[in-house]
Amino acid sequence: MKFSIRMDRIKASGIRAVQKRIAGNDNIISFAAGLPDLALYPLEDLKAATDEMIEMEGIRAFSYGLTKGNGELLEFIVDRMNKKENVKCTKDNICVLSGSQQGIGLAGLMFIDEGDVVITENPSYLGAINAFRPYGAEFAGVDTDDDGIVIEHLEEVLNNTPEAKLMYVIPNFQNPTGKAWTLERRQKFMEVVSKHDVVVIEDNPYGEIRFRNEQLPDLKSLDKKGQVVYLGSFSKILSPGMRVAWMCAEPKVASMAEELKETNDLQSPEITQMIVAYYMKMFDLEEHIREIQETYKHRADLMIKMIERYFPKEIKYTKPDGGMFLWLELPEGLDSDKILDDAVNAGVAYIPGESFFAHEGVKNTVRMNFTMVNDDQIREGIKILGEVFKKYI
């Protein structure tokens, strides 16, 4: 059996590797997950919305729909983009996706030819890096600091990489670091990229889980040339299992995404789109989001408090204002993947940070998740992990 060369370019996920190491051990306290808390799914409201939807127009929910998306859902998305994200758009700018991960894949199909360069933050979401690899993409990383992407390095990379056609960024509570770009960085970023013929994929799955400070404008709202392709999702604020997300872009790009999607899965499931639409019509999504924000804020603050108490002072860490992750930097020379064996043996798991880099990763980094653990697990897990790190520092 002869497979395409694209299959040779796919790399195993570092996250799955960790999951295999802890599989079957229910006693492990896992900071390795990248999932929203299952207990925060609005199950009763979703059930009520589903019952109402099936009662009113169930036959349509079990039928084919338009590739572009369910009409009522499209109206809700357009309204949300205009009012909450301050992005002026119409249905012509929107294409519903089967999860924002599909949007990343469609962007690869649309914009990447063999040998093209994709620019990412260093580090970046490994699911995007792996999605772009099969198309023959090369990668260039841009450094980040506590305020977000480093503009001087961005300019250097763009000026020295004329073959760069696509850039992938997560300005809001990035996966894996939890960092959010400041307003100044967002404005300067758009000033710089507007001078180059590069498409910017703005992935925003965590933007609505802001639990400190005011919402900052999306890159798409600052976009004057139509070069930003925005990806939004209901996965982190409603339910990931329904796989309902969307792309907001220039009409030509949205139309091309629709054409490619038709060859990919014909359409996102009509039934889950209609459940989301009925939920939006019947219930207060903003109230539900506030509950998520309060819960995650409490857990993030508790994790930071425990880190300050139990971790060696040499370890640096981010203090996220939202999202689902924080990032550790261990002293140079340490390898978080090797330390993970000791951590798992002690009863705690995390994700080594190396796999979040497009090229040779920084081995002394760690991604920590705080959304899938309760207070007792955070207290005990961070204490245990602190003892493990002390053996190496």
Give the model's pLDDT for residue 18.
75
Mention every residue, 6+ apart, whose C-beta is less than 8 A from residue 352.
14, 18, 335, 336, 337, 340, 363, 365, 366, 367
User: Once rounded to an integer, what is the mean pLDDT over residues 23-38?
Assistant: 87
For residue 25, is pLDDT > 90?
A: no
Band of residue 17 on the pLDDT scale cut at 50, 70, 90: low
Give the model's pLDDT for residue 200.
98
For residue 5, is pLDDT > 80?
A: no
Beta bridge pairs of residue 332: none
pTM of the model: 0.95
Mention every residue, 6+ apart, whose C-beta is less than 8 A from residue 114.
135, 136
Chain center to CA of 376: 27
**In 3D, which of 97, 149, 169, 175 has the Cα closest to residue 371?**
175
118-158 per-position pLDDT tens digit? 999 999 999 999 999 999 999 999 999 999 999 999 999 99
181-218 per-position pLDDT tens digit? 999 999 999 999 999 999 999 999 999 999 999 999 99
Residue entry with tokens 């002869």: 2
Beta bridge pairs of residue 282: none
Alpha-carbon distance of 123 to 144, in angstroms, equals 8
Q: Residue 142: how many CA atoms within 13 Å on its side-chain side?
A: 25
User: Once rounded to an integer, what is the mean pLDDT over residues 12-17?
Assistant: 66
Give the model's pLDDT for residue 346.
96
Alpha-carbon distance of 293 to 298, in angstroms, equals 9
For residue 20, is pLDDT > 90?
A: no
Alpha-carbon distance of 133 to 49, in angstroms, equals 39
Give the model's pLDDT for residue 16.
67
Give the model's pLDDT for residue 220.
98
Give the model's pLDDT for residue 381.
98
Alpha-carbon distance of 257 to 113, in angstroms, equals 16
Band of residue 22 on the pLDDT scale cut at 50, 70, 90: confident
Band of residue 3 on the pLDDT scale cut at 50, 70, 90: confident
Fold classified for 5-42+287-390 = Aspartate Aminotransferase, domain 1 (3.90.1150)
Fold classified for 43-282 = Aspartate Aminotransferase; domain 2 (3.40.640)
350-383 per-position pLDDT tens digit? 999 998 998 877 899 999 999 999 999 999 999 9
For residue 24, is pLDDT > 70?
A: no
* CA quadruple 169, 170, 171, 175: dihedral sign: negative
Q: Which helix (H) or strand (E) holds 122?
A: strand 117-122
Give the model's pLDDT for residue 27.
86
For residue 305, is pLDDT > 80?
A: yes
Q: What's the CA dihedral at 112, 116, 119, 120 to 10 degrees?
A: 60
Give the model's pLDDT for residue 286.
97
45-98 per-position pLDDT tens digit? 999 999 999 999 999 999 999 999 999 999 999 999 999 999 999 999 999 999
96-108 per-position pLDDT tens digit? 999 999 999 999 9
Distance (Å) of CA 210 to CA 185, 248, 292, 295:
18, 21, 9, 11
Give the model's pLDDT for residue 10.
72
Give the model's pLDDT for residue 327.
98
Describe the crossing of helices 336-346 and 375-390 by its angle, rounded to 10 degrees.
120
Backbone angles phi, psi at 199, to 5 degrees: -90, 135
Distance (Å) of CA 302 to CA 52, 85, 312, 347:
40, 30, 17, 19
For residue 390, is pLDDT > 70?
A: yes
Q: How does strand 199-203 pair with strand 228-233?
A: parallel
263-296 per-position pLDDT tens digit? 999 999 999 999 999 999 999 999 999 999 999 9
| All structural domains of the chain with their residue ranges | 5-42+287-390, 43-282
Alpha-carbon distance of 307 to 317, in angstroms, equals 9
Alpha-carbon distance of 176 to 27, in angstroms, equals 25
